[in-house]
Structure 1
Amino acid sequence: MPAKRVFHEQGILFGYRHPQSSAMACILSLFQMTNETLNIWTHLLPFWFFAWRFVTALYVTDIKNDSYSWPMLVYMCTSCVYPLVSSCAHTFSSMSKNARHICYFLDYGAVNLFSLGSAIAYSAYTFPDALVCTTFHDYYVALAVLNATLSTGLSCYSRFLEIQKPRLCKVIRVLAFAYPYTWDSLPIFYRLFLFSGESAQNEATLYHQKHVIMTLLASFLYSAHLPERLAPGRFDYIGHSHQLFHVCVILATHLQMEAILLDKTLRKEWLLATSKPFSFSQIAGAILLCIIFSLSNIIYFSAALYRTPEPELRKKET
């Protein structure tokens, strides 16, 4: 892929770093104004906030004996992983063309790991009464692992279409993230729009509603390339869609975390009386499978970068 076309974004004209930057130059760019600077900081700063919340939760939890809290700890851990990996991906993405792709392959894997963490927490604390202990509930997390694996593969594959088929690339990538989110959110949609059940009628509902709205806004910004598409060059450094997308995603995660924490606390008695908490092997197995399958996808597509000839070279050969 021609380097310039790989690094340039729609509607963003200026502020690009050198496409062959050193690792040190990439780190120093955190303190320089480029079109990536706020992309980095809008995830790096929230990482420390989520890490503080995770460490605080670890400190007050009897990890060995309180199995009811394990899904929450796993979810909070994955909520730290994805903003950290994303900020690193944006930091080092200008080292080379292939480095850029590999950085975002890892970013996609981290996002899908967070998707699985959300599914585990939803399964443990947020399911509406009518869906608890159903067949759907039994296979919900297993299918979330499959969805995370497929999503990582599809989103990685989409990067190979960026130059020749940019619209198809965008459609595939949006769908790759939309369908795991939709699957994870089915219990929430049932709870919000159909029937929540007596135990799920609590203060968490408002946070779930806000989380859904903020996620939809983030999806719109990601796919629409607004406002920079309407005024190319005006939002190169501050205010372009990816920065706004990052902010919305972080706010959505914060709202989601508050909702899950409320459900965990307010529904504890009912949930413990109605269903069994996750075992360690169930949680560890799901997370381990997701990591193995996602890393396999990332390794496969990273290797494919070096096997695939440049588009210009393919034209000459033809």
Structure 2
Amino acid sequence: MLSLIKLPRVFTINQVPKVFHEDSIISGYRHPRSSATDCILSLFQLTNETLNIWTHFLPTWYFLWKLVTVVLIQRAWQDSFTWPLLIFLLSSCIYPLASSCAHTFSTMSARARHICFFFDYGALSFYSLGSAVAYSAYVFPDKWVNSLFHRSYVPIAVLNTVICTTLSCYSRLGLPFLQYNHDTVTRFPEFQRPKFSKYLRVVAFAYPYLFDNIPLFYRVFLCVGEGCTDNETNILHLYHISLALLTGFLFATHLPERLAPGSFDYIGHSHQLFHVCGILGTHFQMKALEQDMMIRRPWLLEHSLPITFTNSLGAAIFCVVLNLVIIVLYSLPLLSGPVCKEKKHDLRPKKSSAKVGRCC
């Protein structure tokens, strides 16, 4: 069937605008003004984005199955103790789905690329909050339960999601409504100072991760003696921490493709490995949370903070609303700005020319 469909052609790095360039990736680029149909068809051909998409799209269904299991079998709506796990699983469904959609449709235009990844960043920051809500409910070591830090933990995590989404969006666009240029959407911080934008993005996501894991790091690495919650779940937490650190390393270093540009364009480049390690880390994180929830439930119900709508579902809803507001504020200058002539005249890839040229 697919043999009867003409798949979109791919290009080299010199044939696409700089805003679409990936560090040390030389070939396999899709047309920078692809139609939505072309973007979907590209899922079934080998480009430098194909595995980025599938490595997040397929796990979405696994986490969705786990979410449905909690809702239907554990009857989450009747048991507030499972609400934090529900929020974590929901965030674990949203972030890979948002990522796969962003990678799929990011070549429709430079504007679409920015907006797609704004949603990707918002989904990741929501995942950070989902982790924090679940950690607050199930992971805090016994001696920290009900402490001042524990009571402040979720509100600070909500603030961190706002900081995370704002910084990551800023790394692409700068200040909304101030950085838009009248003839192009590529004169943004990411285009002018790509290394600074990359560093800023790393900080934007590393900061909430490190904060969220303060109780876990203390529990696993520092705490000794009574009240340290040293149980069989800790090994699962160690697997998650190891994979999370590897994920951050791959994102920041662009290895292995930086060692051999062009050799890992289609299979094996850092972003694909980053996706795989991130999903595996989330899997072990989920297993650890489920196990902590079951093992510690009697003690936590008696001694820990009560799980309420405000510190669980309410915090999640508030975070989603704030993230959407931030994304809209950053997207409006792109949506309301003038459309360049090339985009007006031709939304389809050009068949005859190898050069793509400048485009919005």
2:273 equivalent to 1:244: yes
Residue number among 53, 61, 64 corresponding to 1:40 in the alignment? 53
Paired residue secondary structure (1:21):
coil
Deviations 1:59-85 (A, max 9, x none): 211333311111111111111111011
Structure with the higher helix share, 1 or 2: 1
Structure 2 counterparts to residues 33-72 of structure 1, below 5 A: 33-72=46-85
Residues 3 and 97, structure 1, Cα contact 8 Å, conserved in 2 = no
> Which of the residues 301, 324, 331 maps onto 1:272?
301
Any conservation in 2 of the 1:200–1:263 contact (CA below 8 Å)? no
* Equivalent residue letter for 1:168: F
Superposition TM-score, scaled by structure 1 size:
0.93
**Following the alignment from structure 1 to structure 2, what is the Cα–Cα distance between the partners of residues 142 and 247?**
30
Letter in 1 for 2:154: V
* 1:214 equivalent in structure 2: 243
**Take 1:189 and 1:276, find their aligned partners in 2: how far apart are those partners?**
20
Percent identity of equivalent pairs: 55
| Superposition TM-score, scaled by structure 2 size | 0.83
> 2:194 matched to 1:176?
no
Q: Which runs of 5+ in 2 are unaligned?
A: 1-14, 174-188, 340-360
Q: Does 1:89 align with 2:102?
A: yes
Q: In the alignment, residue 85 of structure 2 is paired with which amino acid?
A: M
- Structure 1 CA distance for aligned equivalents of residues 264 and 218 of structure 2: 39
Counterpart AA for 2:209: Y
2:149 is the counterpart of 1:136:
yes
Alignment correspondent of 2:286: 257
Alignment deviations for residues 112-141 of structure 1 (CA, whole Å, 9 cap, x no partner): 101000000000000001110011000100
Alignment coverage as a number of residue pairs = 309
**Unpaired segments of 5 or more residues in structure 1?**
311-318
Alpha carbon RMSD of aligned pairs, Å? 1.7
Larger Rg: 2
Question: Given that residues 15 and 35 in structure 1 are in contact (C-alpha distance below 8 angstroms), is that contact kept between their aligned partners in structure 2?
Answer: yes
Distance in 1, Cα, partners of 2:32 & 2:162: 30
Deviation at 1:8, TM superposition (A): 1.1
Within-5 A mapping of 1:1-318? 4-160=17-173, 161-195=189-223, 197-198=226-227, 200-305=229-334
C-alpha distance in structure 2 between counterparts of 1:262 and 1:277, whole Å:
19
Shift of 1:273: 1.1
Q: Give the SS at the match of 1:15.
A: strand
**Partner Cα distance (2:40, 2:46) in 1:** 12
Following TM superposition, by how much is the alpha carbon of 1:309 offset from its aligned partner in structure 2, in angstroms?
9.2
Matching residue's letter, 2:315: A
Q: Distance in 1 between matches of 2:305 and 2:169?
A: 36
Range with greater deviation from structure 2 (47-56 or 179-188): 47-56
Q: Is the 8 A contact 1:12 1:228 kept in 2?
A: yes
After superposition, the C-alpha distances for 1:134-180 in whole angstroms (9 at most, x for unaligned) are 11000100010000011000000101311211111111000000000
Alpha-carbon distance in structure 2 between the residues aligned to 1:227 and 1:63 = 43
